[in-house]
Structure 1
Amino acid sequence: MEIKKGGSVSKLLADVYIPRMFKVKQIFPRPVIKSEDIPNVIRRELSQKKFSRKIKPGMNIAITAGSRGIANVAIITKAIVDFVSSRGAHPFVVPAMGSHGGATAEGQLELLESYGITENFLKCPIKSSMEVSVIGTLKDGRKVVIDKNAAQSDGIIISCRIKPHNAFRGKYESGIMKMMAVGLGKQVGAECVHSQGMGKIGNNIELIGKTILKNAPILFAIPCIENSFDETCKIVGVDSSEIPDREPELLKEAFSNMPRIIVGKCDVLVVDEIGKNYSGTGVDPNITGTFSTKYVSGGIEVQRTAMLDLSKESHGNGLGVGLSSVITKRLFDKLDVEKMYPNCITSTVLESARIPCVAADDKEAVQFCIRTCVNIDKENVRIVRIPNSLHIEHIMLSEVYYDEIKNYPDLEIESKPEYMKFNEYGNLI
């Protein structure tokens, strides 16, 4: 597809006014565990008798590692590995990420490596395979599967993050149960969880997760929760018998730590960069309000969204572009459908991979969104610009918000309004 600058589209957008923008700081509570303290926190948690007694000398212990951009994930994983080793057992790591990484063992290893999770760093093997073992059957006849290497181990430790999901609401969302049902299930298990559509996914996660708890050697989980600044703020051990009751409590805590765009409403949202390291759908809809399903709502109320670039950590997986109104040619050229479409086939959700309007550059993407907004004051268009959906402490607002900041005690002005600067290629500086 040819996207050229200076054609009829450029001419239609040339006179669209882009207002001045100013920087603000969003103020959120900030409980945090410092990176250097994480190994001690994990050691203290796992030294509790109910956990430590389960790890015996000579046991082969599988430890999960997922595909999300979890803060300190390499440090957390290594701390668990080190504790298992200290008990005389033999740890190994398994990628627990469903169909991510292009649904290949090599792609999942590549994802872990991009997070710093390597055999050299961990000092233990990483066993990456898409093979699964059947460990149970649901009442409707569906097979429950988990990673073959994990199934053959003497015990499994679930390491994950608990967080609100971006496409459904339920008793269990992103967390321990989902890591078992979808992550450990690899592509086959993930497809089973999603097979009845997003309206049933919450129920499937619970049914499959409880079947795995019953039939697989799950020892315990050690999930983390993050604060509004993408920082680790809680790490807690959860015994296998406690998971069904304890996880919903931790999910409520995770909800309370979620950041938000405080102004609550805008005409145009500009996202500098999307990526799998920010959210499973490139941007977190709980922040941006751009959901791929009808089973969840929230985030900022917005009419048009421009997404400008794709992170290198995504390796071409641009899921989330379909939630945008306009993307840039730069982002479009980085898309790798071999990495994107396996997720769609597995999840049955196609919306997040659909290609929206493509603009020649950043400037035209923003103008495209402004021009196509309806029922707004185009001389005082309300624009919010964020670097990504994970780091929103410092954001930019258009000038119309400037005199309204006094109404938002959790916003601090950090700069005077200035016009956005674009380079010779029309991209933001």
Structure 2
Amino acid sequence: MFINFPEINDLMIQDREVTIPKMVTIRQHFDTYQIADIPLHIREQMEANAGAPERFKGKRIAITAGSRGIPNIVVILRAICDILKEWGAKPFVVPAMGSHGGATAKGQEEVLASYGITEAGIGAPIRSSMDVVQYGTLPNGIPLFCDKLAFESDGIVICHKIKPHTDFRNEHESGLCKMIAIGLGKHKGAAAIHSQGFCGFGSFITEAARQFLQAAPVAFGVGMIQNAYDEIHTLEVIPGAQIMEADARLLKAAKQQLAGFKFDDIDVLIIDRIGKNISGYGFDPNVVGRSNSRCYGFEDPVRIKRLFIRGLTPESHHNGSGINEADITTRRCLNDIDWSETWTNLITATEIQGSKIPMYVNNDKEALTIALRCCNGAPRPHRVARIKDTLSMKELQVSEALYEAIRDQPDIEYVRGPEEILFDGEGFMS
């Protein structure tokens, strides 16, 4: 369901002069380590930690694949499948993404295909279904579900990246336990747990994972951490009995690798694109702040007066989750959102406040002008920052005033500028 938002005309926005600042391109420095040979690393990890190859012979092994963007995910899944086949197993991939992909089997298979996760790409079948079986119940009576194809297999490989969640703080956040409780739960399981809201979410996924590991035929886990440059920093193959311990340990390590701003005072932040492949929230509140639920333990990492979101990633499949946190956007951005897809996702998460639509105007130049015009506080040259998305924090642009405030930091490198922001004939940034 797309909505054709009308043009906005005759806004009175010029009662105070606004100057769009020139921008300086800078480079932020983070830990650069990454795994150089991923297939070799996976082979070494599987040989050391997955168990004896003989136990996999003739077994149907289900491997989870989620909707989050993971660098080299096709290489990773292909390596796992190739080794399992060498050991005589019959691996297949199941989408484990809750209600994403429009909460349909076809939609979830299409999400995986957009990442290159196809039978041809990984050398194993993709088996997508929304059918589930119940394996347990939370103490409050909420049922726990698992993808039927995975649960009835001979072994499940819980494969996912581990990172801080966007809405809550807990020993287990976004990672293997959440993949078990929400991703493998499909639409029915995700909706059941999300019905309780995020404030108890951490304890729910912890208990769900505990029961799952007792009830399901878990073969092993594969936990990954990305570095600040969106490369695989850590990848561990984890025996089934150690999944919960490893999930908590790797979360602590992931928080140390998270890319963010090397400064914390921004008047206007411009985000070029948001999307489900970037974060479940479209952008990562661990970088930007503005968490949808602002629940227990979550604090904004940076002060931002106005947020301007310009568009969506193609990989988001028109899911506009997160657009509600923008102070302003454009008509073009809103017209690109599939509201049925977005609202289905938000209803499943019970976070319907995320369906709010921000102020919009006709183009980027108007939006930026209004955002600058509406920065209240003591007069000063505007501190503006522009990022491609919250996974792209290595190189970004900052206004001259902001650059002057941070230029002497050892982890900030000058690249070029200052330069005018270029707009095309329709008023959109290049």
TM over 0.5, shorter chain: yes
Where does residue 410 of structure 1 map in the other structure? 411
Opposite residue 75 of structure 2, the aligned amino acid is: I
Distance in 1 separating the partners of 2:171 and 2:39: 30
Is the 2:7–2:331 Cα contact (8 Å) retained in structure 1?
A: no
For 1:223, what is the secondary structure of its paired residue? Answer: strand
Is the 2:49–2:238 Cα contact (8 Å) retained in structure 1?
A: no
CA RMSD of aligned residues (A): 1.6
Where does residue 338 of structure 2 map in the other structure? 336
Distance in 2 separating the partners of 1:253 and 1:190: 26
What does the per-residue CA deviation read over 1:357-408, in whole Å, with 9 as the maximum and x for residues that have no partner? 1121111111121112211426x11111111111111111111123223442
Where does residue 388 of structure 1 map in the other structure? 389
1:238 deviation in Å? 1.2
Is the 1:13–1:371 Cα contact (8 Å) retained in structure 2?
A: no
What does the per-residue CA deviation read over 1:106-140, in whole Å, with 9 as the maximum and x for residues that have no partner? 11011000000001112211110111011122333
1:351 deviation in Å? 3.0
Shift in CA distance, 91/421, structure 1 to aligned 2, threshold 3 Å = same
Is the 2:65–2:94 Cα contact (8 Å) retained in structure 1?
A: yes
- Structure 1 segments, 4+ long, off by >3 Å, are 10-15, 52-55
1:26 deviation in Å? 0.4
Opposite residue 65 of structure 1, the aligned amino acid is: A
Distance in 1 separating the partners of 2:176 and 2:422: 44
Shift in CA distance, 419/3, structure 1 to aligned 2, threshold 3 Å = farther
Where does residue 244 of structure 1 map in the other structure? 244
For 2:281, what is the secondary structure of its paired residue? Answer: coil
Shift in CA distance, 80/212, structure 1 to aligned 2, threshold 3 Å = same
Unaligned runs of at least 5 residues, structure 1: none
Shift in CA distance, 360/143, structure 1 to aligned 2, threshold 3 Å = same
Matched, 1:27 2:57: no
1:192 deviation in Å? 2.0
Is the 1:288–1:300 Cα contact (8 Å) retained in structure 2?
A: yes
Opposite residue 203 of structure 2, the aligned amino acid is: N
Shift in CA distance, 383/406, structure 1 to aligned 2, threshold 3 Å = closer
Opposite residue 301 of structure 1, the aligned amino acid is: R
For 2:225, what is the secondary structure of its paired residue? Answer: strand
Opposite residue 52 of structure 2, the aligned amino acid is: S
Is the 1:3–1:359 Cα contact (8 Å) retained in structure 2?
A: no
Where does residue 4 of structure 1 map in the other structure? 7
Where does residue 191 of structure 1 map in the other structure? 191
Matched, 1:39 2:42: no
Question: Aligned residues, how many?
Answer: 425
Is the 1:405–1:412 Cα contact (8 Å) retained in structure 2?
A: no
Distance in 2 separating the partners of 1:234 and 1:2: 44
Where does residue 399 of structure 2 map in the other structure? 398
Distance in 2 separating the partners of 1:332 and 1:192: 30
Where does residue 109 of structure 2 map in the other structure? 109
1:290 deviation in Å? 1.9
Where does residue 372 of structure 2 map in the other structure? 370
Which has the larger displacement, 136-145 or 272-281? 136-145
Distance in 2 separating the partners of 1:281 and 1:67: 12
1:353 deviation in Å? 2.9
Which has the larger displacement, 100-109 or 50-59? 50-59
Unaligned runs of at least 5 residues, structure 2: none
What does the per-residue CA deviation read over 1:58-114, in whole Å, with 9 as the maximum and x for residues that have no partner? 110000000001111111111111111111010010000000111111110110000
Distance in 2 separating the partners of 1:84 and 1:328: 48
Is the 2:53–2:87 Cα contact (8 Å) retained in structure 1?
A: no
Where does residue 287 of structure 1 map in the other structure? 287
Distance in 2 separating the partners of 1:14 and 1:105: 53
Is the 1:3–1:358 Cα contact (8 Å) retained in structure 2?
A: no
For 1:281, what is the secondary structure of its paired residue? Answer: coil
Where does residue 360 of structure 2 map in the other structure? 358
Is the 1:281–1:352 Cα contact (8 Å) retained in structure 2?
A: no
Distance in 1 separating the partners of 2:243 and 2:345: 27
Is the 1:182–1:190 Cα contact (8 Å) retained in structure 2?
A: yes
For 2:157, what is the secondary structure of its paired residue? Answer: strand
What are the equivalent positions in structure 2 for 1:154-173 lying under 5 Å apart? 154-173=154-173
Distance in 1 separating the partners of 2:341 and 2:382: 36
Opposite residue 294 of structure 1, the aligned amino acid is: R
For 1:292, what is the secondary structure of its paired residue? Answer: coil
Opposite residue 62 of structure 2, the aligned amino acid is: A
TM-score (norm 2): 0.95
1:352 deviation in Å? 2.9
Where does residue 306 of structure 2 map in the other structure? 304
What does the per-residue CA deviation read over 1:275-298, in whole Å, with 9 as the maximum and x for residues that have no partner? 111111111111111211121223
For 2:251, what is the secondary structure of its paired residue? Answer: helix
For 1:222, what is the secondary structure of its paired residue? Answer: strand
